[in-house]
């Protein structure tokens, strides 16, 4: 089986040129002009379009039992949404409860994705407790191809770890050459602030922000930096939302701490006022860390442009408004946290980043694909367009114009936080390992074709 993509403008972090790409079976085998191909070869005309490496989302939740409910997407619906939006690989967080054994959790999450996902996938292994068997179980999970951990400094009593558990996790990660991703907010401060707000009768979604102000996140990042410094572990701050937190990471990096930073499309385009909308509408914009004051958006865009922030993710965590967000109608601490955007990340990032000249095309590809592949051991199989790489390609139409709406999205969700946002571009064709999975906004791929990507340790970006 072969496929040729003709005359597209290929864009990687350091190159931009017009050429044909020839894919044999699952792999890119030739790049050049006027390529001669077999008669039976499928052809995609990419004239006037960009060809990007398949985008990678380094932080999603699909199977997620959380806050008394469970996230709405399945691997089928989420992978379709991802592909339609140009994301050909995602890395899902395995989030076991404190009672669940890591090995059982790994099997559970893997079993849910295998045979259902239409795109390739990998996992970060959540460490939510450090007990007697944790070390041996984590060693086994790493040997099976999961070369990154996840810890939560927030969510006390649920996923959150103690300082002892954090220290032991990072020490093990260091010895295994595994990178640890971390949700950085101080859990005790949140708990105290939540109790104070509720006791004052402040129960609406607009108070979520005040239970987790920037200083709570900055303290979380500072805390992680201290532990990373003491253990020498490589760490990755997930969903960083504000200037105060970024300052902590940059300072630590300048002092030699091995830290990388991720931000989200939500923090670049939405802000605190979205969670202040009346009639409980604000609940649609409740996530943690919370949406911030608008002034932070320029700081995050600058961080992406200058390389202080390495990756742009979604932290996709879908909970329906009518049946799930509503659980917190009388108490904002019970609103399931999450703002889904797996489907819209790339079109929004292109429109409000590249088209508005906040980032260039190379920075776009680097932060939405290549850097994730490098940090998490997927490069050069994923994240680039070169001979031998998987033929995960996004033929992108910069002339497309459309509007985001829950009426037309693929995500299994009754609202879209980006409802009404204009987009100026979308994937025309998306391929997964040489097979066309999307054409003009329609999923034409195969559920279950997605493959679990095993990753080796010691692949940190330099």
Contact pattern for ligand URP over residues 238 through 277, marking x by CB under 6 A: -x--------------------------------------
Nearer to ligand URP, 288 or 311 (CB): 288
- Sequence-separated (6 or more) residues with CB below 8 Å from residue 430: 54, 83, 84, 86, 88, 393, 394, 395, 436, 437, 438
Q: How many residues bind ligand URP (CB under 6 A)?
A: 9
Kind plus residue range of the DSSP H or E element containing 149: strand 148-152
Q: Using omega within 30 degrees of 0 as the cis cutoff, is the peptide bond preceding 289 cis?
A: yes
Could you give the CA distance from residue 451 to residue 50 in angstroms, rounded to a whole number?
A: 26
- Residue located via tokens 């398949």: 54
Indicate which single residue of 129, 183, 409, 433 sits in contact with Zn ion (rule: CB under 5 A). 183
Nearer to ligand URP, 88 or 337 (CB): 337
Helical ranges in 181-242 per DSSP H: 187-199, 208-211, 214-231
Indicate which single residue of 225, 270, 317, 359 sits in contact with ligand URP (rule: CB under 6 A). 317
150 binds, among Zn ion, ligand URP, none (CB under 5 to 8 A by kind): none
Q: Does 314 bind ligand URP (CB under 6 A)?
A: no
> Smallest distance, Å, CB 313 to Zn ion?
8
**Contact status, residue 122 vs residue 378, Cβ threshold 8 Å:** yes
Q: Does 353 bind ligand URP (CB under 6 A)?
A: no
Indicate which single residue of 57, 315, 344, 392 sits in contact with ligand URP (rule: CB under 6 A). 315
Could you give the CA distance from residue 235 to residue 101 in angstroms, rounded to a whole number?
A: 23
Could you give the CA distance from residue 150 to residue 237 in angstroms, rounded to a whole number?
A: 10
> Smallest distance, Å, CB 183 to Zn ion?
3
Length of the chain: 462
Interaction with ligand URP in 16-75: which residues (CB under 6 A)?
61
287 binds, among ligand URP, Zn ion, none (CB under 5 to 8 A by kind): ligand URP
How many other C-beta atoms are found inside a 10 Å radius of the C-beta of residue 196? Answer: 12
> Smallest distance, Å, CB 339 to ligand URP?
7
337 binds, among Zn ion, ligand URP, none (CB under 5 to 8 A by kind): ligand URP
Three-state secondary structure of 78-125: HHHHHHHCCEEEEEEEECCCCCCCHHHHHHHHHHHHCCCCCCEEEEEE
Nearer to ligand URP, 182 or 432 (CB): 182
- The CA-atom distances, in angstroms, between 85 and each of 57, 148, 221, 237, 416 are 11, 25, 31, 24, 14
Strand partners, 375: none
Indicate which single residue of 8, 160, 303, 338 sits in contact with ligand URP (rule: CB under 6 A). 338
> Smallest distance, Å, CB 385 to ligand URP?
31
Nearer to Zn ion, 9 or 343 (CB): 343
3-class DSSP assignment, residue 170: helix
Contact pattern for Zn ion over residues 305 through 334, marking x by CB under 5 A: ----------x-------------------
Strand partners, 402: 423
292 binds, among ligand URP, Zn ion, none (CB under 5 to 8 A by kind): none
Q: Does 222 bind ligand URP (CB under 6 A)?
A: no
> Smallest distance, Å, CB 290 to ligand URP?
9
Indicate which single residue of 186, 211, 337, 384 sits in contact with ligand URP (rule: CB under 6 A). 337
Nearer to Zn ion, 184 or 385 (CB): 184
Piece of 77-85, 96-104, 178-186, 444-452 that binds Zn ion (CB under 5 A): 178-186
- The CA-atom distances, in angstroms, between 227 and each of 170, 212, 252, 257, 412 are 8, 22, 11, 10, 38
Nearer to ligand URP, 6 or 124 (CB): 124
Could you give the CA distance from residue 53 to residue 28 in angstroms, rounded to a whole number?
A: 11
Indicate which single residue of 117, 147, 186, 288 sits in contact with ligand URP (rule: CB under 6 A). 288
- Residue located via tokens 């295994």: 176
Indicate which single residue of 183, 208, 284, 381 sits in contact with ligand URP (rule: CB under 6 A). 183
Residue-wise DSSP of 273-315: GGGG-TTTGGGGG--SSPP--THHHHHHHHHHHHTSS-EEE--
Nearest residue to ligand URP, by Cβ distance, number only = 337
Q: Which residues bind Zn ion (CB under 5 A)?
A: 183, 315
The binding site for ligand URP (CB under 6 A) comprises 61, 183, 239, 287-288, 315, 317, 337-338
């Amino acid at each position: 089986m072969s496929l040729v993509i003709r005359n597209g403008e290929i864009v990687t972090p350091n190159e931009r040129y017009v050429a044909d790409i020839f894919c044999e079976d699952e792999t890119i085998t030739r790049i050049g002009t006027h390529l001669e191909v077999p008669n039976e070869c499928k052809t995609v005309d990419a004239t006037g379009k960009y060809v990007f490496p398949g985008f990678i989302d380094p932080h999603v939740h699909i199977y997620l039992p959380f806050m008394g409910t469970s996230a709405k997407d399945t691997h089928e619906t989420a992978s379709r949404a991802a592909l339609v939006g140009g994301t050909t690989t995602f890395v899902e967080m395995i989030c076991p409860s404190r009672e669940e054994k890591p090995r059982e959790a790994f099997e559970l999450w893997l079993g849910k994705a295998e045979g259902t996902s239409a795109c390739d996938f990998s996992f970060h292994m959540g460490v939510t407790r450090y007990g007697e068997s944790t070390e041996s179980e984590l060693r086994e999970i790493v040997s099976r191809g999961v070369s990154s951990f996840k810890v939560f400094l927030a969510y006390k009593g649920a996923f959150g770890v103690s300082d002892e558990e954090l220290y032991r996790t990072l020490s093990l990660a260091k010895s295994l050459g595994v990178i640890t991703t971390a949700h950085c907010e101080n859990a005790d401060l949140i708990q105290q602030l939540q109790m104070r707000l509720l006791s004052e009768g402040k129960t609406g979604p607009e108070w979520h922000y005040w239970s987790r102000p920037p200083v709570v996140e900055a303290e979380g990042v500072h805390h992680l930096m201290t532990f990373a410094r003491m253990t020498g572990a490589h760490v990755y701050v997930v969903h960083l939302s504000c200037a105060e937190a970024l300052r902590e990471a940059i300072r630590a990096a300048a002092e030699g701490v091995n830290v990388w930073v991720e931000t989200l499309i939500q923090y670049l385009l939405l802000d605190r006022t979205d969670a202040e909308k009346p009639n409980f509408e604000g609940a649609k914009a409740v996530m943690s860390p919370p949406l911030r004051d608008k002034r932070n958006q320029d700081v995050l865009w600058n961080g992406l442009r200058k390389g202080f922030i390495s990756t742009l993710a979604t932290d996709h965590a879908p909970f329906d408004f009518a049946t799930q967000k509503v659980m917190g109608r009388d108490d904002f601490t019970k609103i399931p946290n999450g703002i889904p955007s797996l489907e819209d990340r790339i079109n929004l990032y292109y429109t409000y980043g590249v088209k508005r000249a906040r980032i260039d095309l190379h920075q776009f590809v680097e932060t939405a694909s290549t850097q994730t592949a490098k940090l998490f051991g997927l490069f050069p199989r994923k994240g680039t367009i070169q001979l031998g790489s998987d033929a995960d390609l996004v033929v992108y139409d910069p002339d497309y114009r459309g509007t985001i709406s829950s009426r037309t999205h693929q995500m299994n969700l009754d609202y879209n936080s980006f409802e009404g946002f204009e987009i100026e571009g979308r994937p025309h064709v998306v391929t997964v390992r040489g097979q066309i999975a999307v054409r003009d906004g329609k999923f034409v791929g195969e559920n279950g074709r997605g493959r679990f990507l095993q990753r080796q340790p010691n692949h940190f970006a330099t």
